[in-house]
Amino acid sequence: MGNIISSFKHLFKTQKSSEQYYEAMNTDITGLGGHNSKCWMNVGYWEKAEYYNDANEALADKLAEFCHFSSGSNLLDVGCGCGEQDFYWKKCFPQLNIHAMDITPLHIKIAKKRAETEKSNIRFAVGNACDLGFENETFDRVAALDCAYHFDPREQFMHEAFRVLKKGGYYSASEMLPIKGEEIMQNQQIKGRKGLFIPDANMYTIEQYKAKLEKAGFVDVKYEAVGHIVYKGLAMYFLTRYLHFRKPIEKVRVKFNHNKWQEIFVGMFDFLYGTQEYYFISARKP
């Protein structure tokens, strides 16, 4: 029971930065301190998945598709966490030269240790998404898997991504965003966002997101709304973990009807955070 109480405190404690949020999380997004053979810390894409690790591989697959990894050669992964997606992407796309960065030193330490053990050539470094520290036109792909809503502010990251991308390169992110016309400033939403460290400056719609990308210089902005898939699966995962919090994460099966009552779970994220939708987004540097 103590673990569950700690989990709720973690989810709704005001965070001063995304670094503080992820340091408090360690490597378990529920805050339960569970054991997992992998270090995924994302929401997951639950269209077919019944296990957390599978859902996160599906999320990574979807972003890779949006960012055209199959034809890329030099990837910058921003907000990489412990690098689980980078090891996965390297296996799926061995031609990719991957640089990965995260603001949380603990996670980069974990990623570097794994890279050394596995003799991987993925390069990991501590860094800030809003000040990438690379020369102009260094990469042909820049990706942010389920993390750019933390960047403070995200619009600065868009400009930095454009700067370090080569001509013809792709930007892609998966994002929690509000919907036009919906309330986002209720007390519980503001408190919830402080718990996740989502700055109010990042609370704009997909239409505004597209306009900001275009202002930064991007073209061919594409997006797909998948909140009905992501939010229900994530909520059911949390519930199942609370019921089986002593079980290793990779053995917790999240079995549910994927098509039933999706709007209820979308409404839950609306009520708690004001982020009524989840999107995959891509854009190209001309």
Structure confidence by residue, pLDDT tens digits, 84-106: 999 999 999 999 999 999 999 99
pLDDT tens digits, 147-195: 999 999 999 999 999 999 999 999 999 999 999 988 899 999 999 999 8
Closest among 40, 43, 31, 19 to 277, alpha carbons compared: 43
| Domains of the chain, start order | 2-276 (3.40.50.150)
Q: Residue 186 corresponds to which tokens in the numbers above? A: 């209720």
Name the band, by pLDDT with cuts 50, 70 and 90, for residue 7. low
* Interior/surface letters 76-89, b for 16+ CB within 10 angstroms, e for the rest: bbbbbbbbbbbbbb
Tens-digit pLDDT profile for residues 230-272:
999 999 999 999 898 889 999 999 988 888 888 888 999 999 9
Residue 2 has pLDDT above 50, yes or no: no
115 confidence band (pLDDT: 50, 70, 90): very high
C-beta pairs of 133-138 under 8 Å, 24+ apart in sequence: 134/76, 134/99, 134/164, 135/164, 136/163, 136/164, 137/164, 137/165, 137/166, 137/167, 138/74, 138/76, 138/164, 138/166
Residues 6+ apart with CB under 8 A from 88: 57, 60
Range 18-31 average pLDDT: 70
Give the tens place of pLDDT for each residue, 32-48.
Answer: 778 899 999 999 999 99
